[in-house]
Amino acid sequence: MTVMAAERVAVVPARDEPLVRVEDLHVTFTRKGSEVRSLRGVSLEIGRGEILGLVGESGSGKSVLGLAMLGLLPSSPAPRTSGRIVVAGTDVLTASAEQRRLLRRDHLGAVFQDPMTSLNPTMRVGRQIAEKAGSQQEALRLLDAVGVPEAKTRLRAYPHELSGGLRQRVMIAMAVAGSPSLIVADEPTTALDVSVQAQILELVVGLRDELGCSFVFVTHDLGVASEIADRIAVLYGGKLLEVGPTETVLEAPRQPYTIGLLRTRLSPTSDRDHPLPTLSGEPPDPREHPPGCPFGPRCALHVAVCDEPVPLVPVGPAHVAACAQPKRLLELEQERRVEQQWPSEPVFRQVQHKYPGVVLTGIRKAFPQRGGTVLHALDGVDLQVKPGECLALVGESGSGKSTLLRVVAGLVPADSGEIEMGRGGRPQMVFQDAGSSMTPWSTIGDLLTDRLRAERVPRRARAALVREALAMVGLPGEVASAKAQQLSGGQRQRASLARAVIVPPRVLLCDEPTSALDVSLVATVLNLLGRLRRELDMAVLFVTHDLAAARVAADRIAVMTKGRIVEEGPAERIVGAPTHPYTRALLDAAPRPGRRRAGKQGAA
């Protein structure tokens, strides 16, 4: 009860009646005979017209909390729940199915990370919106309201005919139909380019200001939350660890986990000469949570008292945190002794090779479109990458980055131009979603062994090489017997890298390998890439829409748009002093802590 009192102080002013009240919420799933405790005593209030940023790593319980508020927890098998979730006067947990349906119709809206999994691929978007809005005329008005260009034409489009940003706007149009009181947005910008992400963030603020609705904005990126959220709630291991006003949490965090998230986040000023800071260890197994503070096993300040229950307590005006050593944490922060000590050898460095790893000259690729038009995906691309060097390709979706990688990999033939390769094995790809690129019924060891078999490596040497490759990417040998779905996102991405480099390639092709990862895992993967390219002398082509990641991971950056390179140069210069307007626009769109987005409804 003390915890709830503290949180209520942090959530809403006393004069306001909260729209949402979550009290001591527990959600436990049963998976293959084991109990998975996703939420463990979460208590929270959300004010009317408030944007709450809900942040934390994958597996922390963010999405489960959002689904619980929406009354959309799975029904077969149904999880075991306790506590209360009161939304607009209705207790979601005890309401009947009909009451929950009416609540969703009248008061709730939802926007999910991948709109393609929520939109019906066989139905035109206008009809899908009209089912919620009541008429085609209202659907058209909503598409105009969320900034969809040529809205009347888009009504007749199918989801696959729209860009990612437009599909997300369609989802937002459906979410705001009927003027809901609360919209839960679950990672709605994670897979989007920075420019489209910025437009969606501005749209969210604009809709809040216009409709007066509340938002729960789920994200793993504190930078994104900082631009639109009124308050930030940090969730980890199914528990709230810190809640407070956005500016306070960013400038004066009072929980080691929050501090870790802030330090691992990349920015245009991150140190390029040393390994990026990371969170040590792995998130807790939801089947076996540690006693006391869930972050305890990964915390440098961990002592015996941390293994006892640690409640949320006031640490400042409207600010609560759960830490057993708040004074010690503050002392160490002031002394700057929590800073990680780096080794002297740089991880990201310019190489001096004279011979090329890969040379691209005049690469062109066009795809015929419906109606007889032609899409020029690559329009005369010239690039050169030396062994041991990393070149980052940066640009929005549709700029030609991924097509260029597929041409280099030999997956797509170029229409014209030349590709010259240096010494070493064939090019290898690392994809954004490592899990979908791995055969689900094969073990990681089998996947790595397949690469060795293809290169005619003797059978007796394969097992040792698999162990060496896993060790190279920081994975224990036991991972060889696991399947992809049994690994975390970060482990899958490292296993994907092990598969790519077990036979060292002349060129490593990375297609958005960090865009779907938590901020802490992004740093881990970038550190690993930097070490591997130096040790194996690989040329690396690194596709990303994140200029901050490109700056620390790459020696040079090439900015692409409409199939052409519009700016190329050293990474520091491109990010620090860009000359092309398109590059400057990408930098301006990137999230920046301390900046607040104004409401806007421009087209994505």
DSSP annotation string for 279-316: --S-PPPTTSPPSS-TTGGG-TT--GGGGS----EEEE
Least confident of 250-259, 350-359, 423-432, 535-544: 350-359
The closest alpha carbon to 486, from 30, 26, 31, belongs to 31
Distance (Å, whole) CA 241 – CA 294:
9
Token pair listed for 426: 């064939």
User: Alpha-carbon distance 371 to 70, whole Å?
Assistant: 42
34-46, strands of its sheet edge to edge: 34-46, 20-31, 80-87, 90-91
Is residue 42's pLDDT more than 70?
A: yes
Which residue has better confidence, 444 or 335?
Answer: 444
Please state, rounded to an integer, the average pLDDT across all residues of the chain.
84
Whether the Cβ atoms of residue 462 and residue 397 lie closer than 8 Å to each other: no
Residues 136-158 have pLDDT tens digits of 999 999 888 888 888 888 898 89
Supply 39's token pair: 């939420």
- pLDDT of res. 150: 84
- Report the pLDDT value the prediction gives residue 207, as an integer from 0 to 100: 87
What is the pLDDT at residue 568? 94
Residue count (the chain): 604
Summarize the confidence of residues 573-594 as an average pLDDT: 87
User: Strands 358-368 and 416-421: what pairing?
Assistant: antiparallel
What pLDDT, on a 0 to 100 scale, did the predictor assign at position 333? 60
pLDDT at 579: 94
The answer to whether 48 touches 208, Cβ cutoff 8 Å, is no
**Residue 3, pLDDT above cutoff 60:** no
**pLDDT of 338 above 50:** no
> Which strands form 313-316's sheet, in the order they lie side by side?
108-111, 182-186, 214-219, 51-55, 231-236, 239-245, 319-321, 313-316
Q: What is the pTM for the complete model shown? A: 0.83
3 state DSSP class of 484:
helix
- Higher-pLDDT residue of 243 and 552 is 243
Residue 11 confidence (pLDDT): 34
How far is it, in rounded angstroms, from Cα 310 to Cα 3?
10
The pLDDT assigned to 527 comes to: 85
Whose tokens are 């149904």? That residue is 78
In 347-454, beta strands by DSSP E: 358-368, 374-385, 390-394, 416-421, 428-430
Mean per-residue pLDDT, 513-537: 82
Q: Residues of the chain with pLDDT > 70: what percent? A: 90
460-479 burial, b at 16+ Cβ within 10 Å, e below that, comes to eebeebbbebbebbebeeeb
d(CA 300, CA 259): 12
Reading the block at residue 312, the tokens are 């949320």
The Cα–Cα gap between 587 and 414 comes to: 31
pLDDT at 6 > cutoff 50: no
Q: 520-531: per-residue pLDDT in tens?
A: 778 888 888 888
Instruction: Quote the DSSP letter at residue 77.
Output: T
Mean of pLDDT values over 387-412: 90
515 or 580, which is more confident? 580
Does residue 452 register a pLDDT over 80? yes
Tens digit of each residue's pLDDT (9 = 90 or more) over 355-383: 568 899 999 999 887 777 888 899 999 99
